[in-house]
Amino acid sequence: MSTNSSTGAGGNYLDVRDLRVEFPTEDGLVRAVDGVSFTLQRGQTLAIVGESGSGKSVTSQAIMGLHNRKSANISGQVILEGEDLIAMSDEGVRKLRGQKMAMIFQDPLSSLHPFYTVGKQLVEAVRVHQDVTKDAARKQAIAMLDRVGIPNPDRRVDDYPHQLSGGMRQRVMIAMALLNSPTLLIADEPTTALDVTVQAQILELLKDLQRDFNTAIIVITHDLGVVADMADEVVVMYGGRLVEHGSVRDIFHRPEMPYTLGLLASMPRLDHGRSSRLDPIPGLPPSLIRLPKGCVFRPRCTYHDKVPNGLCDTERPELITTAPNHEVRCHMTADVRRAIAVERLGARIEETA
Amino acid sequence: MSGYIVRRLISMVLMLLLLTLVVFLLFSVLPTDPARLTCGKACTPEVIAANRHNLGLDLPLWQQYWDFVKGIFVGRTYGSGTQTYSCDAPCLGYSFKRGEEVTTLIKQGFPATFWLATGAFIMWIVVGVSVGIYAALRRGKWQDKTVMGISLIGYSLPSFFIGLVLLYFIILKWELLPYPSYVSPFENPVAFFQTMLLPWIVLAILYAAFYMRLTRNQMLDTLGEDYIRTARAKGLSERIVIRKHGLRAGLTPIVTAAGLDLAGLLGGAIITESIFSLPGIGSLAVNSVVDADLPLIVGITLVTATFIIVANLIVDLLYAVIDPRVRLV
């Protein structure tokens, strides 16, 4: 495993530019991802945060090339080490999948084939990309199971997925993803289906493996605890659009977009005591077929009256750079946004450097 | 596993006994006199009474049933004194109407039914499953819609309708095939195929239509599973994803349905056999009901039910082999 960080155009390992994913349906065009851009370096972790239907999983599957291009319109660029995966042939992307980029999923039980042993599924993953014998692949599989912390890997390798615990299954998924030493790992809600104690172990394992392999990780989650634990950078998505993007410090301590504020405020906190109520975001996420004309968050935003001329209803806000490496999609002025953040989150807010 | 099989076999025997009892009781309350059926129009009451005694029909009902059950396991003897007739185990009774052992009658009818069922089975599995997979892979496209439309038509057409139409045009009007007359495939393979072709098609159409839908839906369910996405994420080619990961899981439920359907047909395809005058168990069943031939009805019911119950057991055992999550306890 080479540790020197190889980079593509613009010096970024992964460069997602204006990614759009649309699904034509009988009810109309579903704009699942609408112009998302971000970059990622090796050894770094990017968290994509948002509610169900915000487009975070669709984004990650578009990077992996897992959408059927016949049923989804995909445009923009996904540049991995200088190669644009969107422009690449299906076969070209397939060869990178599981090798250069790998993915682990939310529910490890349903994500493993119930009829094949763990070993068979791991051996298969090795042999797609490496020209080795079954025995050699099996040795690799056992070594990797050992590496991800599965006890007695030489016996566990012959177990079926249903014979393992939830945490063990997710370790198997991680082992499967790492077999071919990928440099990009996408983890789609990797801990959501697991017990809390197991969640911490899995996150530790991912960070540990990231150090060893110098992997770039994209973690998709709605759990801000996972974000705080793992991420270097955060992308907040809402209604298929990127609404705020910054370092993990920016997002937790200097958030500016009302939706991000809402996410943070709806998180339970031990230091607030039980008497203080949680502060949920009112309303429901928008339909991706009939998005609001102006700002996607407008129907649920309590601060739209702070913007003159009803701009939130008519004009789609652009992504603006509010501080170095911190972007926000909101019509309010920076002063108003920061004042609201202080009001909502109080002591948690840090002064902008 | 062996404990499981023993328990299943015991419950199977109990189930069959209960079934014979119900059938036996149902027909004993019918207003027909089985003894009256033993001889023709010029029968004297004395002869009828003698036959009644010889067949044990003058005994109490529970004793008749007991003799019947005993006959299955150890055989039984009809009549008394010098005029006796012994029916060896497994004795399913004696048909007064036909003057023949029920076991013999069923054995005679079985080959035609067996060939009809297995031939049709092969046809509908090959056509139904492959077309179903094809439709699933072309989901929502015109090919899929066409297949589903054809399947709906095939499933809606009653087999007596298709059977009579084919019989009329292909055999009677255009004379493309000779009039059906069953012969053993070992005796005259050509005549056998000429006779069986249309019955196979008639029977297969109905089942193939059903299996197309079943297979398509199973495959679509499976292809939407998370582990299929995992297989793709590994970088497997679409061909391997579908063949190795999709078919394995998607076709498993088809095994259950196929096993039970085949077993059901081995008990006789009544309509198809009747249309094409095949001397199978289905025709035998119809005739036995028309003649109120009680021992034959009970015998056929028992044999048919045995096929289905045994098939159930086999399918369950097979399932434990196919699906590692199934443990028989």
Give the 3-state secondary structure of residue B181. coil
Report chain B residues whose CB lies below 8 A from the CB of A105. Answer: 226, 229-230, 233
Give the closest-approach CA distance of B2 to chain A in angstroms. Answer: 22
Instruction: Give the residue extent of every domain in chain B.
Output: 2-100, 102-322
Is the pLDDT at A183 greater than 90, yes or no? yes
- Cβ-defined contact of A64 to B248 (cutoff 8 Å): no
What is chain B's mean pLDDT, rounded?
Answer: 89
A 114-133 residues with CB below 8 A of B?
Answer: 114-115, 117, 124-125, 128-129
Q: Which of A130-134, B2-6, B112-116, B219-223 has the lowest mean pLDDT?
A: B2-6
Arithmetic mean of pLDDT, B130-149: 94
Identify which of B225, B235, B245 has the shortest CB distance to residue A99: B235
Instruction: Report the C-alpha dihedral over residues B161, B163, B167, B173, rounded to 10 degrees.
Output: 40
Position B158, amino acid: P
Nearest CA in chain B to A123: B234
Interface of B with A (CB under 8 A): 225-227, 229-237, 244-245, 248-249, 252, 322-325
pLDDT tens-digit map of A282-317: 888 888 888 888 899 998 998 988 888 888 999 999
Asked if A23 is an interface residue toward chain B (Cβ–Cβ < 8 A), one would say no
pLDDT at residue number A272: 64
CA distances, B156 to each of A100, B150, B159 (Å):
52, 10, 9
Identify which of A105, A117, A128 has the shortest CB distance to residue B236: A128
Identify which of A99, A105, A162 has the shortest CB distance to residue B230: A105
Q: Which of A90-94, B20-24, B287-291 has the lowest mean pLDDT?
A: B20-24
From start to end of B93-144, where are the E strands?
Answer: 94-95, 100-101
Instruction: Report the C-alpha dihedral over residues B136, B138, B140, B141, rounded to 10 degrees.
Output: -150
Is the pLDDT at A171 greater than 90, yes or no? yes
Give the 3-state secondary structure of residue A214. coil
Asked if A176 is an interface residue toward chain B (Cβ–Cβ < 8 A), one would say yes
pLDDT at residue number A273: 64
Class of domain B102-322: mainly alpha
The residues near A269 (Cβ < 8 Å, ≥ 6 apart) are none
Most B-contacting residue of A25, A94, A172, A180 (CB-CB within 10 A), to test interface: A94
Give the closest-approach CA distance of B222 to chain A in angstroms. Answer: 11
- Cβ-defined contact of A110 to B324 (cutoff 8 Å): no
B117 within 8 A of B311, measured Cβ to Cβ = no
pLDDT at residue number B294: 82
pLDDT band at residue A175 using 50, 70 and 90 as cut-offs: very high
Asked if A334 is an interface residue toward chain B (Cβ–Cβ < 8 A), one would say no
pLDDT tens-digit map of B144-185: 999 999 999 998 988 889 999 999 999 889 988 888 889 899
- Cβ-defined contact of B227 to A94 (cutoff 8 Å): no
Taken in order of first residue, the domains within chain A and their CATH numbers are 9-231 (3.40.50.300), 252-348 (no CATH)
pLDDT tens-digit map of B264-307: 999 888 999 999 999 999 999 999 988 888 889 889 988 999 99
Asked if A162 is an interface residue toward chain B (Cβ–Cβ < 8 A), one would say yes
From start to end of chain B, where are the E strands?
Answer: 76-80, 83-87, 94-95, 100-101
Is the pLDDT at A277 greater than 80, yes or no? no
- Cβ-defined contact of B226 to A103 (cutoff 8 Å): no
